[in-house]
Copies of this chain bind each other. A is one copy, B any other.
Amino acid sequence: MGATKTDHFTESQNELAVLAKAIGHPARIAIIEYLLKVDACICGDIVNELPLSQPTVSQHLKELKNAGLIKGSIEGNSICYCINEPGLEKIKGFFEHISAHLAKKKNECC
């Protein structure tokens, strides 16, 4: 089928899945890492940093934006992209939650 049965899962589970899925591609990780490295909004530089064509990069940027992981604003000729903190905080919270659980675990098996 190819279509995820989102109806049967909680909103939280679906929300996290969308975020994780958006991160689940090396090009999109590279974009996030680059935005962190330059430590600022950047205008028109991302395409040159990636080993992919301009339309493909544009598509990845769109996906990251849709997932709420980055944001972009028009800056004259070009577009200024940067990290969208709330999105990253949300998924980070999930792993902190997991870590807290694991810390309490007695490791009695496996």
Tell me whether A41 is interfacial, beta carbon within 8 Å: yes
Contact string against B for A residues 35-76, beta-carbon threshold 8 Å, 1 for contact and 0 otherwise: 010011100000000011000000000000000000101000
In the complex formed, the residue of B with least CB distance to A88 is B98
Give Cα distance in the complex from A98 to B88, angstroms: 8
Q: Interface size of A by Cβ–Cβ distance < 8 Å?
A: 53
Q: Which residues of B contact A32 (CB under 8 A)?
A: 98
Task: Tell me whether A88 and B80 are in contact (CB under 8 A).
Answer: no
Task: Tell me whether B13 and A26 are in contact (CB under 8 A).
Answer: yes
Which residues of A does B touch, CB under 8 Å?
A: 4-6, 8-10, 13-14, 16-30, 32-33, 36, 39-41, 51-52, 71, 73, 80, 82-83, 85, 88-89, 91-92, 95-96, 98-99, 101-102, 104-106, 108-110
